[in-house]
Amino acid sequence: MNLDKLLNPKKIALVGANEKDSFGGNTARNLVQYGNPADIYFVNPGRETALGWKCWPSITQLPENIDQVIIATPMATVPGLIREAAAKGAKSVVLFASGYGETGTPEGKAAEAELKELCRELDLSLMGPNCAGFINYIDGIYSFSFIFEERERRGGVGMVSQSGQIALTAMDSPNMKMSYAISAGNNSVTTMEDYLDFLVDDPKTKVVAMFLEGVTQPEKMVAALAKAAQKKKPVVIFKVGKSEKGAAAAASHTGSLSGADAAFDAVFDKFGVIRTGDLQELLTASLTLATWPELPKGDRVAVMNLSGGETGICADMGHECGIKFPDFTPEPTAKLRAMLPGYATVNNPLDMTASLSYDADKYGAAFRTVMDDPNIDVVVIGYTMLLEIADPAIHYMAEGIEKVLNGPGEKKPAVMLPFIENTRNFEYQEKLSAAGVPILPPPAYGFKVLKQLTDFAAYNPAERSLSLARPSQPLGDKKVALSEFESMKLLREFGIATPKGGLAATAPEAAAMAASIDGPVVLKVASADIPHKTDAGGVRLRLEGAAAVTEAFESIMKSCRAYKPEAVIDGVFVQEMLKPGLEVILGVNNDAQFGPMVLCGLGGVFVEIFKDTALYPAPLDEREAMKMLKKLKAWPMFTGYRGQKALDTAALTRTIAAVARLAVENKDRLVELDINPLFVYPDGEGVRAADALVVLAE
């Protein structure tokens, strides 16, 4: 969908222009104050003028064709006005009216469906309904229905929000600089995915920021995210719907489904999206990325403070957020010692004391020294710059910083970190921003965002399979579980190591099969109707000899028939008793929006106790499988922790990749897969799946 006529129209008509505090009145004020009078028409048959501008009685009577119509009149008037606008050349609509699908009523949903069909018929892009409109700051277009403080906001962040109030909050943030502010509303015709795709391609937008309540076109969103990943264009998303109530609120607010939240995390991880936890993080991360001239080359951070108290705060909060504070290398250490008073200690984080902060050249020299250290990738300037400046230190510090960043030598990303909020002196905020130094929030937020940004800088799209294996159609509600025998057979088809054994229909067959296997065996009931075999008394371990196997077979059949008389029992699965190893779970869940999601983590009883798992969308390769393992808290257990042997992670990553291939090739029928436990043995000894359950759509 071409959004140029929607987001960069030349001729605009506002229907419902008035002078009240209303959508029509506020939009009229914005157009009058910021727009080009030659390109704007007011339409209102009940008024001759609004705010001193002529009101035309209808769209039809306008003296020239238009590109966009803004409709600020009730829902009942909308279809006729859209047809009039289309006849007058309009290719885009901004629609404020509510009462559509967001109501959840049959009438509202029907009205929205009719609106979509009308726009499809007339080949129109439409923002809304139930939206606040948009501002194109670069080209000076203000099709927006809320009043805001007048100040310069042009910049590199393209902000799109399903909520108009959230869009306004972002605009009102005192340091926000934007290319676009878009309130999408129900996004019934032109969707969040369309806006994302537009902003990823837009050369005026350096960073895409989204407040997201749900996705309606997963395939289109994935394509846009893949494009952003390949361009290494930052996409920062605050996605709500984590909690049960949050998901319900999102659906009722815009009529969109929020989807499984863990699946969103997994998709965002794959495509390098920065997911933030709240609006402050969203704005901070996107503004910082838009202000920095370039990304950090690594994740090693230095902090320059003026006091020991601030240094202690940075050390603690940085550690909590996973920030790396390496020691300075010898040459910069010696230079800093020579610059600083004898009572200063040259560590990282650094307590410079206030002695250099009143001399621009000396402060700049210290800043240059820290920036030149090969051990450092990002420089944090710890300083609380109050709204009303009393202490003149900032005058000298800012001058020193500007000299370094505008002068010769290597430039590395830098930020200023205050220690309390309400610290945005506008003059110096703008000076620092122009030099490429954004101001973060205080440490609890600031260091968390900094960690997100250094993680993004390390993201390499060449190491990711930038696609998803979405099913070609919904799987439906009917499903069938395979027996363990059938499940294991499917695993073996994809090269996944399973125990020796087979299916026995009688006790003598079981005894004969056990005799062909070296060592003790396990017997498990083979029934798709009994997925939880242990609960039914359907498992017997460490069996040796024909008598023990025969007794176990008969005991299993008796217990399982009593547990579930109607179950179809194929027999008993006779399996070699595997030696113990680290128990891992591998699984697949076929997400309704994004397709198969591969899970790995600590298995056995630890799954429910520790919930230490990683989720990642299929397809994936062995490199991506290794990234999954390294996200686990239990990762040290795989590498030879406390004198233990290192485990066969190569075999494990091959197996994870094989599970992903299985999921991709069966994406149109696989509902879920569970291998628990998968035993992981010492390096070179491989892995073996001890138990498996496959559930398919009928």
Q: For residue 655, count CB atoms less than 10 angstroms from its CB and return exposed for 0-12, middle for 13-18, buried for 19 or more.
A: buried
In DSSP terms, 587 is beta-bridged to 599, 674
**507: DSSP letter:** H
Would the pTM count as exceeding 0.75?
Answer: yes
Tokens of 564: 């579930």
Tokens of 571: 């027999």
Measured in degrees and rounded to the nearest 5, phi and psi for residue 330 equal -55, -45
Report helix, strand or coil for 235: strand
Where are any strands of DSSP class E within 213-325?
A: 235-239, 274-275, 301-305
Contacts of 228 (CB under 8 A, 6+ apart): 200, 208, 234, 235, 271, 272
Residues 49, 52: Cα–Cα separation, whole Å: 6
Q: Rounded to the nearest 10 degrees, how much is the dihedral formed by the CA atoms of 285, 289, 290, 292?
A: 130
**With contact defined as beta carbons under 8 Å apart, do 475 and 590 qualify?**
yes
Distances (CA, A) of 511 to 119, 540, 549, 551, 691: 71, 14, 6, 10, 21
The whole-number pLDDT of residue 257 equals: 31
Helices (runs of H) and strands (runs of E) counted in the chain? 22, 29
Tokens of 61: 């009577």
Tokens of 603: 């298995």
Q: What is the pLDDT of residues 2-49, one digit of tens each?
A: 799 999 999 999 999 999 999 999 999 999 999 888 899 999 999 999
Residues 663, 135: Cα–Cα separation, whole Å: 44
Residues 268, 189: Cα–Cα separation, whole Å: 24
The whole-number pLDDT of residue 247 equals: 46
CA 322 centroid distance within chain: 19
The whole-number pLDDT of residue 605 equals: 74
Measured in degrees and rounded to the nearest 5, phi and psi for residue 504 equal -115, 130
**With contact defined as beta carbons under 8 Å apart, do 106 and 142 qualify?**
no
**With contact defined as beta carbons under 8 Å apart, do 250 and 214 qualify?**
yes
Q: Rounded to the nearest 10 degrees, how much is the dihedral formed by the CA atoms of 539, 544, 548, 550?
A: 80
Q: What is the pLDDT of residues 578-599, one digit of tens each?
A: 999 999 999 999 998 999 999 9
The whole-number pLDDT of residue 255 equals: 28
Residues 344, 311: Cα–Cα separation, whole Å: 12
Report helix, strand or coil for 150: coil
Q: What is the largest CA-CA distance in the chain?
A: 102
Residues 480, 697: Cα–Cα separation, whole Å: 6
The whole-number pLDDT of residue 258 equals: 30
Tokens of 664: 């991709």
Looking up tokens 């996200």 gives 631
**With contact defined as beta carbons under 8 Å apart, do 14 and 42 qualify?**
yes
**With contact defined as beta carbons under 8 Å apart, do 618 and 469 qualify?**
yes
Residues 398, 381: Cα–Cα separation, whole Å: 10
**With contact defined as beta carbons under 8 Å apart, do 129 and 70 qualify?**
no
Residues 53, 227: Cα–Cα separation, whole Å: 44
The whole-number pLDDT of residue 637 equals: 93
Residues 83, 316: Cα–Cα separation, whole Å: 62
Q: What is the pLDDT of residues 143-181, one digit of tens each?
A: 999 999 888 899 999 999 999 999 999 999 888 999 999
Give the residues of the chain that fall short of pLDDT 70.
Answer: 242-259, 423
**647: DSSP letter:** B
The whole-number pLDDT of residue 244 equals: 57
C-beta neighbour count of 194 within 10 angstroms: 23
The whole-number pLDDT of residue 35 equals: 83
Which region holds residue 595: left if phi is over 0, alpha if psi is between -120 and 50, else beta? left
